[in-house]
Structures are given as C-alpha cells and as structure tokens.
Structure 1
Amino acid sequence: MEAVTSVDEYLGLFSGEVRARLEAMRAIIRETEPEAVESMAYGMPAYKLDGKPLVYFAGYDKHVGFYATPNGHEAFAEELSRYKQGKGSVQFPHTEPLPTDLVRRVVEFRRADIRPCPEARG
C-alpha cells in the first residue's frame, strides 16, 4: 500500500462519524490559523506555521488523536486531564462530543508560542 500524500486522501480513508470528526478538527485548525501550511507528517495531517509544528491530528477506531507538542499539552494539562493521554498526545473518544473550543484554544496557544506578539513583550 502506498503512503497517503495529502490530507484529503487521508480523510478519504474514513467514513461516517469518524470522518466528520476529523473534518471538524481540520476546519477548526484552518479557521483558527489560516496561515498554517497543511501537509502530511508521521502518517497524519500536520500543520506548520513559519516552518514550525503547530498541531497534528489522526483518526483511530475509538478516538481522534491530537498532538500539540512541544508545549500545547502542558499549557492545558488540567483541561486535558479528563482524556487518555500519551507522550505528547491526547485522545478524544468518539463516545463524547469533540471539545472544539479546547482544540481552538490550544491552536491559538501554539500560534502565540510560534509568533509571539511584539507588543506583548513590553
């Protein structure tokens, strides 16, 4: 089997509710940071800003994996603590609503980490 080379192709591997959840993740990321460059990395949809990793996500049978390394998970540790986690990953189970607002805030945090606002430096 050949490697998937685009996010559209990746999403095409899924159907039904899982695909809808993955498309929602994609929409949140693209709406929150329209300048992010979309690609595939590590076999999953990847978003970079100024050449630096912004976030990644992936679909699985029972959850959507969300990867906001290096510091996105640390900054939201309390809110993410209700979800199963791995090193640099969090699992949003298909049995619960997708935490769209939380995903949006994590993307905003990662954007601010990559592009600190000069005015905020004081």
Structure 2
Amino acid sequence: MGDVSDYLNELDGADRALIGAILTRAAELVPEASEGRSYGMPALRYRDSPLLSVMSTKDHIGLYPFSPGVIDAFAGELDGYSRSKGTIRFTAEHPLPSSLVERIVLARRDEIDAAKAR
C-alpha cells in the first residue's frame, strides 16, 4: 500500500469512486508514476516531482496538478468550475470530463519531462 491507496481506503461513496477512477486513469497514462506525498497530500509522483493529487473536502473535490501553468492552459475549458492557481474544484454531481482530466495529466507529465530535460 502507499499514500494514495491508504487515502482512498479512508473515503466512502461517490467521492471514493470518482477519485479512484481519476487516479487509476492517471497511473495508466503515466505508468512510471508512483505513490507518494507532495505538499502534505497523497499524490502520484513522476520523476521525483508531484504529478497529481485528488482530495475530497466537505464541499468539493480538488484536483491538484501542482502547476499553475497547466491550470491556465485549460482555463477556457474550466468555465463552471471553481479554480485557483493550484487547484480545480468540482463535485461528484458536476465532475470534470474524463478527457479533460486525461489532458491535464499528460500536460503535467510533459511539463515535468521538459523541466528534467534542462
């Protein structure tokens, strides 16, 4: 078990299913990713950098790609979702489209690859 698996085991219901699906898909897209922690959150890590975290709160689910640039790159597709420089907020009743989540994960992976290539 790891930090992400342990966190998922603590969740119930729709949030657990949705968060689990996002993290499973992210791990499929970036198979080199491993479970760990970033900024105190259970997260998938890639090449020693945080790739993605998804956390449930009382009022929403937060998707954390650990990159303001990645969030900004998809700002035009995030109308109707609350966001800040570090998170995109959504609910199980109003989830992010799967294809958008996939593109966010791949954009973050590519950002990490580019940073490591320098």
Q: TM-score, normalised by structure 1?
A: 0.80
Q: 1:93 to 1:20 in 2, by over 3 A?
A: same
Describe how 1:2-17 pairs up with structure 2 within 5 A.
Answer: 6-17=3-14
Residue segments in structure 2 that go unaligned for 5+ positions in a row: none
Q: Which aligned runs of 4 or more in structure 1 are off by greater than 6 angstroms?
A: none
Q: TM-score, normalised by structure 2?
A: 0.83
Identity %: 37
Distance apart, 1:20 and its partner CA? 0.4
Letter in 2 for 1:59: S
Show the counterpart of 1:85.
83
Residue segments in structure 1 that go unaligned for 5+ positions in a row: 117-122
17-26 vs 96-105, which moves further: 96-105
CA root-mean-square deviation: 1.7
Q: Matched residue of 1:31: which SS?
A: helix
89-98 vs 100-109, which moves further: 89-98
Q: In the comparison of the two structures, how many residue pairs are matched?
A: 112
Q: Matched residue of 1:82: which SS?
A: coil
Q: Matched residue of 2:81: which SS?
A: coil
1:55 aligned to 37, 52, 60, which one? 52
